[in-house]
């Protein structure tokens, strides 16, 4: 009798709304494509692979999660098994412990590993693939900065949340004649800030890819004052920086594939511009609100498509690849082409031009 198919699945990196919808869809599609197959979900991303900690994924354990935010498998953006912190003789040292993970999968009889993650998590997916593990990647990040796919799930939800919050800040800024600076996630990519900045009608949009000049922000605020608009909304990406300056780093998390945690640029900018304008200037850091809660309908649908497509890829034996969206259709791309292929906003991006056409300032022009 041939062995039953066994599939391992994990969610790694910062979470993104839609992870549960992928797990839900993948489990159902896999059980239907490979009747009687076993699906296990490793807990806390790659850490679960190292400690062989997992839960069974079936119709019952995944029931009712399609619409729920977060991930029932938990996630971690610290556990890079190719450079993992272990304690030896009471001292913390870095070790490549990936062989332990491969051995665990072999002993469990796992035939395929499905990895849901962003660039850090998918880099390890590529490295496991290079060690001979049949791997399939599914792209996830609110930042939408993976060049190998048109869109990652989680992005639409984050844009919706930020847009809603820009609207909320708008009314109170207007009531108090204040300038309010809203700090938005996205690491070194400005996609969330740019999209939500347009949808939320920001007056100034500051993104990491276009360094800003303080005097140009001040000029915009003064121009609004002259036009009788005595308040302003500034949307700023957490990785944004002043021309000639550097990004504001909140903290360094050394045992992470993404050691830099941004944070504080809105507070810095408020401090810089308040003496230069006739307004109280306040900073709002939206933080993890941007990726918390349930996914938007668009992200739920995209997640379902990714989950179902990953099962199609297993059927066709398309390993060492990531499911991706290309011109509206599900497709796949080699994991080698996913890594170090980040997508950033270009100065001539159509959305930048649109925002400028609306009179929104990027504070970049002399
Ligand atoms: O990459 C997703 C993301 O939410 C970024 O936008 C943000 O900079 C980072 O993760 C925050 O990570 P953490 O939750 O570890 O602080």
The catalytic site residues sit at: 143
Ligand 1 contact via 144 beta carbon (within 6 Å) = no
To test ligand 1's pocket by mutation, which of 11, 122, 240, 261 has the most ligand atoms within 8 angstroms of CB? Answer: 261
Average pLDDT, the chain: 96
Name, in order, each residue with C-beta under 8 angstroms of 33's C-beta and a sequence gap of 6 or more: 311, 314, 315
277 in the same domain as 174: yes
Q: What pLDDT digit, counting tens, does each position of 198-254 carry?
A: 999 999 999 999 999 999 999 999 999 999 999 999 999 999 999 999 999 999 987
Nearest protein CA to atom 13 of ligand 1, as residue: 14
Task: Give the ligand 1 atom nearest the CA of 186.
Answer: 6
Task: Give the ligand 1 atom nearest the CA of 290.
Answer: 4
Report residue 186's pLDDT band, with 50, 70 and 90 as the boundaries. very high
Q: What does each C-alpha distance from 158 to 154, 174, 299 come to in angstroms?
A: 6, 24, 10
pLDDT score, position 366: 57
pLDDT score, position 95: 95
Report, as an integer, the average pLDDT of 166-177. 98
Report residue 309's pLDDT band, with 50, 70 and 90 as the boundaries. very high
Ligand 1 contact via 261 beta carbon (within 6 Å) = yes
137 in the same domain as 14: yes
Report residue 257's pLDDT band, with 50, 70 and 90 as the boundaries. confident
**Residue 288 domain-assigned (yes or no):** yes
Report residue 256's pLDDT band, with 50, 70 and 90 as the boundaries. confident
pLDDT score, position 6: 98
27 in the same domain as 115: yes
Domain total for the chain?
2
Domain, as residue range, for 90: 6-153+295-326
Name, in order, each residue with C-beta under 8 angstroms of 41's C-beta and a sequence gap of 6 or more: 8, 9, 10, 23, 54, 55, 56, 57, 72, 73
Contact 151, 323 (CB under 8 A): no
CA distance 84 to 86: 6
Report residue 77's pLDDT band, with 50, 70 and 90 as the boundaries. confident
Cα–chain center distance at 5: 31
CATH number of the CATH domain containing 101: 3.40.50.450
89 in the same domain as 75: yes
Evaluate if residue 324 carries a pLDDT over 90. yes
240 in the same domain as 141: no
**CA 145 to ligand 1 center in whole angstroms:** 12
Ligand 1 contact via 262 beta carbon (within 6 Å) = yes
Evaluate if residue 2 carries a pLDDT over 90. no
351 in the same domain as 210: yes
Report, as an integer, the average pLDDT of 273-295. 98
pLDDT score, position 183: 98
pLDDT score, position 1: 53
């Amino acid at each position: 009798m041939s062995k039953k198919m066994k599939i391992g699945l994990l969610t790694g990196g910062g979470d993104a709304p839609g992870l549960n919808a992928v797990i839900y869809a993948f489990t159902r599609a896999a059980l239907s494509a490979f009747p009687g197959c076993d699906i296990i979900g490793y807990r806390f991303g790659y850490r679960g692979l190292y400690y062989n900690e997992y839960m069974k994924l079936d119709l019952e354990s995944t029931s009712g999660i399609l619409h729920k935010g977060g991930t029932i498998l938990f996630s971690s953006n610290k556990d890079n098994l190719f450079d993992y912190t272990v304690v030896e003789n009471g001292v913390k040292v870095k070790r490549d412990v990936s062989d332990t993970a491969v051995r665990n999968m072999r002993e469990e009889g796992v035939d395929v590993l499905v990895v849901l993650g962003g660039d850090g998590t998918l880099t390890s997916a590529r490295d496991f693939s290079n060690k001979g593990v049949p791997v399939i990647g599914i792209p996830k990040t609110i930042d939408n900065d993976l060049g190998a796919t048109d869109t990652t799930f989680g992005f639409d939800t984050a844009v919706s949340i930020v847009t809603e919050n820009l609207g909320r800040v708008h009314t109170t800024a207007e009531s108090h004649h204040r300038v309010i600076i809203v700090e938005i996630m996205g690491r070194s990519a400005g996609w969330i800030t740019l999209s939500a900045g347009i949808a939320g009608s920001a007056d100034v949009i500051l993104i990491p890819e276009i360094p800003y000049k303080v005097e140009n922000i001040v000029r915009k605020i003064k121009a609004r004052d002259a036009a009788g608009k005595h308040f302003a909304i500034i949307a700023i990406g957490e990785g944004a920086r002043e021309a000639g300056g550097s990004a504001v780093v909140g903290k360094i998390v050394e045992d992470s594939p993404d050691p830099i945690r941004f944070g504080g640029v809105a507070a810095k900018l408020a401090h810089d511009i308040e003496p230069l304008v006739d307004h109280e200037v306040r900073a709002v850091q939206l933080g993890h609100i941007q990726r918390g809660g349930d996914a938007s309908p668009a992200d739920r649908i995209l997640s379902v498509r990714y989950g179902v497509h990953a099962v199609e890829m297993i059927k066709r034996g398309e390993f060492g690849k990531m499911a991706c969206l290309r011109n509206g259709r599900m497709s796949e791309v080699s994991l080698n082409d996913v890594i170090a292929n980040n997508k950033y906003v270009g100065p001539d991006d159509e959305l930048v031009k649109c925002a400028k056409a609306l009179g929104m300032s990027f504070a970049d022009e002399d």
